[in-house]
Amino acid sequence: MLLYLILIIIITEVSVQALIRIMHTRFQWLITSKDLTPVIPLELIEKHGKQSFHPYLGWLQQPGARWSNPTSNGEVTYEIDCQGRRKNPGFDDTPMSIAVYGDSYAFCRLVPDDCTWPHYMSEILACHVGNYGVGNYGFDQALLRYESDPPKGVRVVIMAIVPETIARIQSLWKHYFEYGNILAFKPRFVLNGEDINLISSPIQVLDDYTNYVRYLDFIQSNDGFYYRKFLKDVIGFPALFHLMSNPKRHLSILGILTLGLVQKKFNSAKRNAFDVILQENAKWTRKLYEETESCDLLRALIRRFKLSCENNNSIPILVIIPQPYDIQQPEKEKHEDFYIEIGKELQVVDFTNLFKEIQGRISLYVQGPLGPHTSKEANVYIAKELVKRLRNVKIKTYPDDICSMTIN
């Protein structure tokens, strides 16, 4: 009897290992021991070097770049102008009075260039609202981009981020939080008493990608998720033990993917499995907003942003745009109290509760391969709401009008 039991366990272990190997090549979030030191293909490094590698910021699309993404509304194309901003049709050559920095929700992934909320603000205000948003940026990278080359003559600087930025600012290698994102090395700040110190990206030249292993000790000791998250999700040997260590995550993903493979609906299954990842990330976001040190780091970065803007005679405005999981709970989200408190120090517009109030009345999000982003309808709403808030901003350095004409 014991022999049969051992035989069953061995067969099950071998079968599960085979299944994991199959799924690992098709779904990057199911990580194994190979992901401890993943191989970065030379062709991928070369492509990254031509398109978006940046030694200081981690990544940044080159001026003149043009690329596309499939979405639930069809193919969408993006363009970057000669100054590194997202193209703003009809306003690219006009003076810029407002600059927007932030992540992909500032950039407005999954909608065309003329359907972003900075573009709609441009139409309402009749002036150029420059879009410096970059996909997957944390508050830290967006801040460094602004500080490295602050646009001259700008009256208002908007920093637009998702609540998840509290996680992004703790990464030195995004692979440890967003598994499989192996090219995304970045700088980060760390607390040093009441100050914050910058840790530069460990990848300074393209050749560093091929030799990144020599920096691993440094990266792992300075990344906020290597020990807390990444190592706990690695499925090693024995696979059965690791699966049962986090069954809600591992078994859910394997079950969804296996069923999709059997039913020949694997693309749909990948989207459903990715939904499990998004839920997991949302839980991490909530958890981090409960941690004093995590909040202190983000608060220090926001204060630095405010000071940098004031040193450049610009008004800082912080905008929070929620992801779908940030508005699914009827009760107040963890991050909302944090930004209410921050609102005592600078102008903050948190769309979390506003989105909760209007969901169902308009379609808020578009689906895409890297997760949902705000729709055209949502961007129109964001633009109108921000213009309304701008009317109430007390500007001492400049006249009452934000742009070259009075806001009506």
Query: pLDDT tens digits, residue range 358-394?
Result: 998 989 999 998 889 999 999 999 999 999 998 776 5
How far apart are alpha carbons 176 and 11 in whole angstroms? 31
239-278 b/e with 16+ CB inside 10 Å = b?
beebbeeeeebbebbbebbeebeeeeebeebbebbbbbbe
Query: Nearest CA to 346 among 374, 307, 375?
Result: 307
Residue 243 has pLDDT above 90, yes or no: no
- Token digits of residue 35: 């992901």
The string of pLDDT tens digits covering residues 98-149 is 999 999 999 999 999 999 999 999 999 999 999 999 999 999 999 999 999 9
C-alpha distances in Å from residue 330, one per residue of 289, 301, 353, 355, 363: 18, 29, 9, 11, 18
Q: CA triplet 157, 163, 165: central angle to 5 degrees?
A: 75
User: Is there a domain that residue 400 lies in?
Assistant: no
Q: CA triplet 74, 119, 361: central angle to 5 degrees?
A: 65
User: Is there a domain that residue 264 lies in?
Assistant: no
Range of the domain at 203: 42-228+286-390
User: Is there a domain that residue 333 lies in?
Assistant: yes
How many structural domains is the chain composed of?
1
Cβ atoms within 10 A of the Cβ of 399, count?
8
- Token digits of residue 284: 């991490």
Size of the chain, expressed as the number of residues it contains: 408
Query: Nearest CA to 223 among 181, 177, 183, 192?
Result: 177
User: Is there a domain that residue 208 lies in?
Assistant: yes
Give residue 25's Cα distance to chain centre: 24
Q: Is residue 137 within 8 Å of 159, Cβ to Cβ?
A: no
- The pTM of this model reads 0.93
Q: What is the DSSP letter of 60?
A: -
Q: Is residue 329 within 8 Å of 355, Cβ to Cβ?
A: no
User: Is there a domain that residue 108 lies in?
Assistant: yes
User: Is there a domain that residue 151 lies in?
Assistant: yes
**pLDDT score of 393:** 64
The residues, any chain, with a CB within 8 Å of residue 296's CB and separated by 6 or more, are 191
Read off the pLDDT of each residue in 271-285 and give the average, rounded to a whole number: 93
CATH number for position 333: 3.40.50.1110
User: Is there a domain that residue 22 lies in?
Assistant: no
Phi first, then psi, for residue 157 (nearest 5°) are: -115, 120
User: Is there a domain that residue 238 lies in?
Assistant: no
Residue 333 has pLDDT above 90, yes or no: no
